[in-house]
């Protein structure tokens, strides 16, 4: 951005301006209230599984810290109207690299896991971002190749499962940071204190940074403007290509962090690690209120999207369904509901007639279509 | 073909037609080039490349093998081509739809048994049931895309995530083995015919789709809806119905591929059937020079794209690359092809070409841009 004047860019899509509450606000409200309803109803329905306990709530974050990172990355790229489906494989690649690095034979310090995982993520982000924004290749194809590449590299590095034996890394993995005052008494008199893992603390810190970046910085506002309307963003002096490139790099970086957090959560390298996580991340972002057409979405909404996914995974077994495939089906059903909602919101601004909700890179002939 | 991100951006100022540019402008050239390189490489490394022998009453050899292995991909690619052309988006759910179709078929044939050689219901009824299941899945996708105007990738994401789980529920969570020898007719061989049925089915499907596209107006309609939906509506086309139909056809074709695939292994494994075939199919369409943004499409291009991908896969297997490592090479080859055929790259090459020859051509003139 070369303009010296500070430009104010609205986060809401042009469609939402007619109503009192912006699209962003409505979608966020729905997501948050859905989470609250789900949580309260599961507290009432499953009295034995202690949903009223603080520790159970915080475990929702502990278990899905990595997904929060991936979903935040996707939030950023989806807001610019692009997409990145390589994040799941990058997560798997990072965990495999760390596991191979810290396996019993080598004596590399666990500290190196941090820069290496970030580097892998950023490298993917840079290459994909360059191809998407400067070579103008469709992001779906680029990141699909990225997915293939990362998934293949996992087995090139190590086709078998590797456990991590490094003591320092394991101490990070199993560390718990107890939260004072948030405890419940167990029946036998001991305290069940809520805790956060270092991974969850990292995730929350990144989330806060992302909220500030998206809300307060020039870069963050440019992301919305690029996704909302690239033409006017260009006219305002936003370097659209550069912003899109940066969004992909940021998404790659977050995927790298996500890989690190995932390895902390499940400390072993497995060729199947991170399989299908891109889908979980997309659905978390969408449930969290990110409009696929670009320009709409908030990081805090993504947090609730992740929490809903995490809650579904915990509640479904309690319904007496043992089969592991049901959380997926129910999560998909939620995704379906939210997509339909988004579609209705997009049409709401157009007085009863449906309008296509297409992201930037799919709007091939937008001018003629509209 | 415009692969750009921004719909507002005018295409690069075209330069004078030169031999190099004409070559670059041919959509299929890179795909064909790769196919040729792969074939030549094969001819060099395997002396018996063209050899076709008869084993167990079946033609076998290198070429029949590639044709056989590519058949599922080709069937799925046909549907994917139509969906991409009509909607400008992709159908991610073809793999799970394959699993669902095969599960329905297996459920009817086997009843509640997991391993049996007795058909519990007529063969053709089961096949029909499988195809109807696939068509319903396609109709669900089509409804979301055409009625609710949800972008195809996200609409099909629902079945993509849930589809395999649904298929698993249909088969009660277990792999079904259908031991009746007639079940293998569709995927291996009908007694007396020396060509594998998969090849015949894939050829039949291609011919069917070509006839559908060329003899009826469907191809033209799909193209016009894909290029400009509202203009198509203004001339009286019901773009909703056409998009819906494209998804239903894609679903049915995915169902056919699923039945063929399950028949060739004689079992229904919902977790494995057509795994990650959607990626290959999308890439085949892209390699075939079709615009992933919708509009103009070429069935021939898609077929060539599918064979290119299968030829790459088979060759890499022959070079002792493990299945899970295959993706690295595939990704690199695909990125190279896509980059080489992108507008920006062409422009850069043209600029370089002009720089070398020091020809100053009026910018914007002498355009032979037909796309």
**Interchain CB contact of A322 with B (< 8 Å):** no
- Residue numbers in A near B344 (CB within 8 A): 134-136
- On whether the CB atoms of residues B306 and B284 are closer than 8 A, the answer is yes
Inspect the interface and report whether the beta carbons of A339 and B158 lie closer than 8 Å: yes
pLDDT level of residue B137 (50, 70, 90 thresholds): very high
- Residue numbers in B near A357 (CB within 8 A): 149-151
**Interchain CB contact of A93 with B (< 8 Å):** no
For chain A, give the mean pLDDT.
82
- On whether the CB atoms of residues A96 and A160 are closer than 8 A, the answer is no
Check whether A363 has a pLDDT greater than 50: no
Region B262-283: mean pLDDT is: 85
Region A277-283: mean pLDDT is: 87
Say what the alpha-carbon torsion angle A321, A327, A329, A333 is, to the nearest 10 degrees. Answer: 120
Residue A367 lies in a domain: no
Q: CB neighbours (10 Å) of residue A189?
A: 6
pLDDT level of residue A89 (50, 70, 90 thresholds): very high
- Residue numbers in A near B157 (CB within 8 A): 279, 282-283, 332, 335
Indicate left, alpha or beta for B68 from its phi (over 0: left) and psi (-120 to 50: alpha).
alpha
- On whether the CB atoms of residues B225 and B237 are closer than 8 A, the answer is yes
Cβ neighbors of B144 (< 8 A, separation 6 or more) are A336, A339, A340, B150, B155, B158
Check whether A8 has a pLDDT greater than 50: no
Least confident of A106-120, A137-151, A271-285, B356-370: B356-370
Ranked by mean pLDDT, the top range of A314-318, B228-232, B299-303 is B299-303
- The CA distance from A326 to A332, in Å, is 10
- The DSSP call for residue A47 is G
Query: Based on the structure, what is the number of domains in chain A?
Result: 1
Residue of B nearest to A362 (CA): B293
**Interchain CB contact of B292 with A (< 8 Å):** yes
Residue of A nearest to B347 (CA): A135
Q: Which of B160, B278, B103 is nearest to A328 (CA)?
A: B160
More reliable by pLDDT, B83 or A22 = B83
Interface test with B, best of A293, A335, A343, A367 (most B CBs within 10 A): A343
- On whether the CB atoms of residues B269 and B175 are closer than 8 A, the answer is yes
Inspect the interface and report whether the beta carbons of A364 and B165 lie closer than 8 Å: no
- The CA distance from A365 to B223, in Å, is 13
Residue of B nearest to A141 (CA): B283
Inspect the interface and report whether the beta carbons of B330 and A148 lie closer than 8 Å: yes
Q: CB neighbours (10 Å) of residue A100?
A: 16
**Interchain CB contact of B52 with A (< 8 Å):** no
- Residue numbers in A near B330 (CB within 8 A): 148, 152
Residue of A nearest to B149 (CA): A356
Region A251-262: mean pLDDT is: 95
Residue A220 lies in a domain: yes
Residue B337 lies in a domain: no
Identify the pLDDT of residue A9.
43
Q: Which of B347, B337, B364 is nearest to B32 (CA)?
A: B337
More reliable by pLDDT, A50 or A218 = A218
- The DSSP call for residue A49 is G
User: pLDDT tens digits for A15-51?
Assistant: 444 444 566 777 788 888 889 988 888 888 887 777 7
Inspect the interface and report whether the beta carbons of A323 and B173 lie closer than 8 Å: yes
- Residue numbers in A near B2 (CB within 8 A): 364
Residue B343 lies in a domain: no
**Interchain CB contact of A112 with B (< 8 Å):** no
Interface test with B, best of A229, A276, A356, A364 (most B CBs within 10 A): A364
Residue of B nearest to A330 (CA): B162
- Residue numbers in B near A367 (CB within 8 A): 7-8
For chain B, give the mean pLDDT.
82
- On whether the CB atoms of residues A39 and A58 are closer than 8 A, the answer is no
| CA-to-CA separations, A131 to A229, A238, B28, B291, in angstroms, rounded | 21, 19, 21, 17
- Residue numbers in A near B3 (CB within 8 A): 136-138
Identify the pLDDT of residue A368.
41
User: pLDDT tens digits for B138-157?
Assistant: 999 999 998 888 878 778 88
Residue B22 lies in a domain: no
Residue A333 lies in a domain: yes
Inspect the interface and report whether the beta carbons of A82 and B331 lie closer than 8 Å: no
Interface test with A, best of B147, B156, B282, B331 (most A CBs within 10 A): B331
**DSSP alpha helix (H) spans, chain A:** 23-45, 54-63, 65-79, 87-101, 113-129, 139-157, 167-174, 198-216, 218-228, 230-235, 240-265, 277-287, 299-318, 326-348, 366-369
Q: Is 0.80 topped by the overall pTM?
A: no
User: pLDDT tens digits for A26-36?
Assistant: 778 888 888 99
Pairing mode of beta strands B115-116, B176-178: parallel
Query: Based on the structure, what is the number of domains in chain B?
Result: 1
Number of inter-chain CB pairs under 8 A, A vs B: 189
pLDDT level of residue B8 (50, 70, 90 thresholds): very low
**Interchain CB contact of B5 with A (< 8 Å):** yes
B68-97 burial, b if ≥16 CB within 10 A, otherwise e?
Answer: bbbbbbbbbbbbbbbbbbbbbbbbbbbbbb
Residue of B nearest to A131 (CA): B339
Percentage of the residues of chain B whose pLDDT score is greater than 90:
23
A175 burial class (0-12, 13-18, 19+ CB within 10 angstroms)?
A: middle
Q: Domain residues for B282? A: 31-37+58-320
- Give the 3-state secondary structure of B73-124: HHHHHHHHHHHHHHHCCCCCCHHHHHHHHHHHHHHHHHCCCCEECCCCCCHH
Pairing mode of beta strands A177-185, A162-163: unpaired
Residue of A nearest to B164 (CA): A325
| CA-to-CA separations, A86 to A123, A350, B26, B263, in angstroms, rounded | 12, 35, 30, 33
Inspect the interface and report whether the beta carbons of B328 and A279 lie closer than 8 Å: no
Residue B214 lies in a domain: yes
Q: Which of A257, A207, A306 is nearest to A95 (CA)?
A: A257
- Residue numbers in B near A132 (CB within 8 A): 5
| CA-to-CA separations, A193 to A152, A177, A196, A203, in angstroms, rounded | 42, 10, 10, 20
Region B322-342: mean pLDDT is: 80
Check whether B270 has a pLDDT greater than 60: yes
DSSP string covering A216-260: HSHHHHHHHHHHH-HHHHHHTT--HHHHHHHHHHHHHHHHHHHHH
Q: Could you give the ipTM of this predicted complex? A: 0.72
- The CA distance from A174 to B182, in Å, is 56
Residue A370 lies in a domain: no
B89, B328, B342: residue with CB nearest A156: B328
Check whether A203 has a pLDDT greater than 90: yes
- Residue numbers in A near B158 (CB within 8 A): 332, 335-336, 339
In which element (H, E) is residue A179 found? strand A177-185
Interface test with B, best of A329, A330, A368 (most B CBs within 10 A): A329
Region B304-311: mean pLDDT is: 88
Residues 298-327 of chain B with CB under 8 A from chain A are 322, 324-327
**Interchain CB contact of B283 with A (< 8 Å):** yes
Least confident of A366-370, B115-119, B353-357: A366-370
Residue B155 lies in a domain: yes
- Residue numbers in B near A274 (CB within 8 A): none
Residues 113-172 of chain B with CB under 8 A from chain A are 144, 147-151, 153-155, 157-162, 164-166, 168-169
**Interchain CB contact of A126 with B (< 8 Å):** no
More reliable by pLDDT, B165 or A3 = B165
Inspect the interface and report whether the beta carbons of B5 and A361 lie closer than 8 Å: yes
Q: What is the CATH number of the domain that holds B291?
A: 1.10.3470
- The CA distance from B283 to A219, in Å, is 33
pLDDT level of residue A160 (50, 70, 90 thresholds): confident
Residue B71 lies in a domain: yes
- On whether the CB atoms of residues B147 and B107 are closer than 8 A, the answer is no
Q: Domain residues for A277? A: 14-361
- Residue numbers in B near A244 (CB within 8 A): 5
**Interchain CB contact of A355 with B (< 8 Å):** yes
Inspect the interface and report whether the beta carbons of A244 and B5 lie closer than 8 Å: yes
User: pLDDT tens digits for B195-216?
Assistant: 888 999 999 999 999 999 888 8
Q: What is the CATH number of the domain that holds A82?
A: 1.10.3470
**Interchain CB contact of A339 with B (< 8 Å):** yes
Inspect the interface and report whether the beta carbons of B149 and A361 lie closer than 8 Å: no
- The CA distance from A141 to A135, in Å, is 12
Q: CB neighbours (10 Å) of residue A8?
A: 5
Check whether A228 has a pLDDT greater than 50: yes
Check whether A251 has a pLDDT greater than 90: yes
Inspect the interface and report whether the beta carbons of B5 and A138 lie closer than 8 Å: yes
DSSP string covering B162-228: HHHHHHHHHTTTS-EEE--GGGGGTTT--TT--S-HHHHHHHHHHHHHHHHHHHSSHHHHHHHHHH-
Check whether B365 has a pLDDT greater than 70: no
Region A273-296: mean pLDDT is: 85
Identify the pLDDT of residue B362.
53
């Amino acid at each position: 951005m070369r303009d010296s004047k500070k430009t104010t860019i609205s986060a809401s899509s042009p469609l939402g301006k007619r109503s009192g509450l912006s699209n962003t606000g409505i979608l966020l409200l729905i997501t948050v209230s859905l989470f609250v309803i789900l949580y309260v109803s599961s507290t009432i329905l499953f009295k034995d599984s202690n949903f009223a306990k603080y520790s159970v709530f915080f475990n929702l974050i502990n278990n899905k810290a990595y997904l929060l990172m991936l979903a935040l990355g996707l939030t950023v790229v989806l807001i610019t109207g692009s997409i990145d489906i390589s994040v799941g494989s990058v997560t798997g690649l990072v965990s495999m690299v760390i596991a191979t690095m810290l396996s019993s034979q080598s004596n590399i310090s666990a500290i190196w896991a941090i820069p290496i995982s970030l580097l892998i993520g950023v490298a993917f982000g840079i290459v994909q971002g360059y191809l998407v924004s400067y070579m103008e290749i469709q992001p779906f194809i680029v990141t699909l190749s990225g997915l293939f590449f990362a998934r293949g590299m996992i087995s090139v590095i190590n086709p078998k499962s590797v456990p991590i034996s490094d003591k320092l890394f394991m101490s990070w993995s199993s560390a718990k940071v107890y939260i004072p005052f948030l405890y419940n008494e167990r029946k036998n008199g001991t305290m069940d204190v809520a805790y956060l893992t270092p991974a969850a603390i990292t995730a929350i810190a990144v989330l806060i940074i992302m909220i500030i970046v998206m809300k307060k910085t020039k870069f963050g506002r440019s992301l919305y403007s690029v996704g909302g309307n690239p033409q006017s963003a260009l006219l305002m002096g936003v370097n659209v290509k550069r912003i899109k490139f940066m969004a992909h790099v940021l998404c790659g970086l977050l995927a790298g962090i996500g890989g690190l957090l995932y390895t902390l959560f499940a400390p072993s390298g497995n060729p199947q690690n991170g399989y299908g996580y891109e889908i979980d991340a997309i659905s978390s972002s969408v449930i969290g209120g990110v409009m696929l057409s670009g320009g709409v979405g908030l990081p805090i909404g993504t947090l609730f999207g992740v929490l809903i996914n995490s809650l579904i995974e915990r509640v479904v077994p309690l319904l007496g369904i043992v089969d592991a495939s049901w959380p997926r089906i129910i999560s998909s059903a939620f995704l379906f509901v939210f997509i339909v909602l988004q579609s209705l919101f997009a049409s709401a601004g157009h007085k009863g007639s449906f309008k296509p909700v297409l992201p930037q890179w799919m709007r091939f002939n937008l001018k003629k279509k509209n | 073909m415009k692969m750009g991100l921004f719909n507002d951006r005018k295409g690069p100022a075209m330069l004078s037609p030169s031999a190099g540019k004409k070559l670059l402008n041919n959509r299929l050239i890179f795909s064909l080039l790769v196919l040729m390189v792969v074939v030549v490489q094969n001819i060099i490394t395997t002396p018996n490349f063209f050899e076709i022998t008869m084993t167990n009453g079946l033609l076998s050899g290198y070429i029949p093998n590639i044709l056989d292995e590519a058949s599922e991909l080709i069937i799925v690619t046909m549907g994917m081509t139509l969906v991409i052309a009509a909607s400008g988006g992709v159908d991610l759910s073809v793999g799970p739809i394959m699993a669902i179709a095969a599960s329905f078929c297996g459920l009817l044939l086997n009843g509640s048994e997991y391993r049996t050689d007795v058909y519990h219901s007529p063969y053709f009824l089961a096949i029909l049931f499988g195809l109807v299941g696939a068509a319903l899945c396609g109709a669900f996708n089509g409804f979301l895309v055409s009625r609710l105007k949800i972008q195809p990738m996200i609409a099909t994401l629902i079945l993509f995530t849930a589809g395999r789980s649904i298929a698993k529920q249909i088969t009660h969570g277990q792999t079904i083995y259908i031991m009746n020898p007639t079940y293998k007719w569709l995927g291996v061989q009908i007694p007396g015919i020396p060509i594998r049925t998969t090849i015949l089915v894939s050829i039949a499907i291609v011919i069917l789709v070509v006839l559908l596209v060329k003899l009826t107006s469907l191809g033209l309609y799909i193209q016009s809806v894909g290029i400009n939906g509202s203009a198509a509506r203004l001339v009286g086309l019901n773009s909703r119905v056409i998009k819906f139909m494209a998804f239903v056809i894609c679903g049915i074709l995915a169902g056919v591929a699923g039945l063929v695939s399950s028949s060739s292994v004689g079992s229904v494994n919902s977790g494995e059937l057509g795994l990650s075939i959607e990626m290959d199919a999308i890439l085949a369409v892209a390699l075939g020079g079709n615009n992933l943004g919708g509009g103009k499409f070429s069935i021939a291009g898609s077929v060539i794209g599918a064979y290119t991908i299968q030829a790459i896969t088979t060759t890499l297997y022959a070079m002792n690359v493990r299945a899970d490592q295959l993706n690295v090479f595939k990704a690199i080859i695909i990125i190279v092809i896509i980059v080489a055929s992108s507008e920006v790259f062409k422009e850069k090459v043209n600029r370089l070409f002009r720089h070398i020859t020091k020809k100053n051509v009026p910018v914007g003139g002498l355009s032979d841009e037909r796309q």
